[in-house]
Amino acid sequence: MEPLFDRYKEIIPDFESFQKRLYRPLSTHLRVNILKMDPASLFKSFAEKNIHLQRASEKYDRLFHAPDLKSPGNLMEYALGYIHAQALTSCLAAFALDVQPHSYVLDMCASPGGKTSQMSGLMNNTGLIIANELYPSRHIPLAHNLARLGVLNCVITGYQAQEFPMRDRFDYILADVPCSGEGRVRITREGFWSRDKKYVKDFSHLQKRIILRGYDLLKKGGVMLYATCTYNPEENESVVDYLLKNRDAHLFSVETGFAQEPGIRDWNNEQYDGQIKKTARFYPHRVDSVGFFMAKIGRRG
């Protein structure tokens, strides 16, 4: 078998360190739910219980690394909705989109609701969020998390993201789309490599349909964040480039305050639009979390 992700050797910086990092399990990160709890108060409460937390960043006071905490879902604070266990890079997506209070927001692929609830916190439970999730079985954990975390400004819908009705236009859209999930892979996991190239191409076709529909659902001057947890350019830069070729979209720089790499300019003899350099790639040896990709897209007003 070829080395893990060897086909990305030329695009992932410090590739040897990247591969070594894959032998370490994913770290536990917690997001303090500001709808119910002040971060400083939670930090103090956990310290009294000898639960050690580390600030994940000076920029975000509500994100913590919990190096000794294996099962945060067993804590009373979790049941009460004070905290939510969420990958660090996943949390950064909602911060990068930067939704504002009293906005009209669409989360196109919302379950299990981590980013939806985070956006609700950023909006102080004002405005309205449409949390869309196709599969009815995933509505249960989505609704449970939104209720547990005190989200009041949200309704759940069940459309195919790529066919979401065009009746309304939104200020902000989050499109954290279905993907091959390479960013979550660690050596301890088995079975991932049963996925073949056709599987990836099917994702790319779906992602292109979703990003076009998302853009068309934006108000003039609206902003969409396209995100995946994979390294594959066919699911990342290629999809965003497809949007730029088919719509009058423009890209904003992705601002997170964490180590990130710009989007690549070409892949497999395909040249991408120059704006692609404004997209962001996150690697686990640079940010101790899931591998991620983000593109912040604006609709001209």
Give the Cα separation of 193 and 180 in Å (integer): 10
Within 10 Å of residue 194's Cβ, how many Cβ atoms?
Answer: 7
Q: 212 exposed, middle or buried (CB, 10 Å; 0-12, 13-18, 19+)?
A: middle
Within 10 Å of residue 124's Cβ, how many Cβ atoms?
Answer: 13
79 close to 101: Cβ distance less than 8 angstroms = no
Q: Is 193 helix (H, G, I), strand (E, B) or coil?
A: helix
Give the Cα separation of 189 and 27 in Å (integer): 15
Q: For residue 258, give the amino acid letter.
A: F
203 close to 180: Cβ distance less than 8 angstroms = yes
Any idea of the CA torsion for 31, 35, 39, 44, to the nearest 10 degrees?
A: -110
Element (H, E) at 155: strand 154-157
Q: Which of 91, 109, 179, 229 is catalytic?
A: 229
Q: Is 179 labeled as catalytic in the residue annotation?
A: no
Angle (nearest 5°) at CA 254 between 208 and 150: 85
The set of catalytic residues is 229
